[in-house]
Amino acid sequence: MKIVLLGSGNVATHLGKALNDAGNQIIQVWSRTVSNARILADRLNAEYTDEFAKINSEADIYILSVTDDSIAPLAAAFPLKDKILVHTSGTTSLALEGISGVLYPLQTFSKQKEVEFKSIPIAIEGRDEPILLSLRKLAESISSNVVNMNSHQRKALHIAAVFACNFSNHLFAIAETILKDNNLEFDLIKPLIKETTDKIQNHSPASVQTGPAVRGDQNTLNAHLEYLRNNIELSELYHKLSQSIINFHEK
C-alpha cells in the first residue's frame, strides 16, 4: 500500500521502517520541522515536506503519528478530506474531526533499540467496515497480532501498558539508584528481573506474587520503611505499593 507519514518521532520512525520493510511504499513524510521530515524521508526513500498544501494525494492511507495534543488540530486542518487519515495514539478517541481510523502499535519505542514488529499487538479501529479492512491489511503486513478494539478498550490497554511497562521500568530505575547508593551493581538484580517477567509469561501475575507485603511480613516492611525514612518519595511509594498488594490479595 502507498502511505504518507505525518510525523517524524519515535513511533513514526519505527512504524515507517517496518511498513517499508514489509513492502509498503512510504511515498512522503510530512513534519512541522522540515529537517526532521528530510532525515526520516531519506531513510525511507520518500519525498518530504513541511507544508500541508503539498501533501501527496496519491496515498491509500495517511498516518498521523504525532503527540496526542497535536492530533486534533492537525486532523482538523488536514486538507485531503476524502482520504483515510488514521492516528496511532492509545488514549485518543476515534471520534475526532478528520480522523477515520486508528492504528495503535502497543510497544515502547526508543531510539536506542530496534524493534521486532512481528509480535507487537496492533489495535485497529475504523469509522466503517471498508476502512477497518484497509487498516487490517496494512497492520497485518507488519504484525501477526492485529486486534479490533474500540476507543474505550484501547485507552484501557494504554493505561495497562503504562502500569506494566512505564511504571515497572521506573521501579527498575529506582532499584538501580538504591544499589548505586550502596556501591552495588545494577547487574546483580538483572537475573531476578528476568525471572520475574519470565514467570508471568505462563502464570497470572497475581498467582506468583512474592515479597514481604503478600507474606504479611510486617517486620520486614517496617525495616524497609525505616531504611527509606530520609527519602519521602521512595518511602511513600514503598508504602502505597505494599498496601496495594495487601489490599489486592485480601480480596
- Binding to its own copies in span 29-68, by CB under 8 A: 67-68
* Among the listed residues 167, 229, 230, 250, the single contact to its own copies using CB under 8 A: 167
List the grid coordinates of 56: 501527496
Residue 25: CB minimum distance to its own copies, A: 27
Q: Is 151 in the site for its own copies (CB under 8 A)?
A: no
Q: Give the DSSP H/E element, type plus range, for residue 244.
A: helix 232-250
Q: Is 157 in the site for its own copies (CB under 8 A)?
A: yes
* Among the listed residues 34, 94, 132, 241, the single contact to its own copies using CB under 8 A: 241
Which segment (24-32, 47-55, 125-133, 229-237) binds its own copies by CB under 8 A? 229-237
Helix axes 168-181, 232-250, angle to 10 degrees: 130
Residue 231 neighbours by CB distance under 10 Å: 15
Q: What is the pairing mode between strands 25-30 and 84-87? A: unpaired
Q: Could you tell me how many residues make up the chain?
A: 251
37 phi/psi in degrees, rounded to 5: -60, -40
Residue 181: CB minimum distance to its own copies, A: 7
Which segment (41-49, 56-64, 74-82, 165-173) binds its own copies by CB under 8 A? 165-173
Q: Nearest-CA neighbor of 74 among 46, 32, 125, 103?
A: 32
Q: Judged by CB, which is closer to its own copies: 76, or 162? A: 162
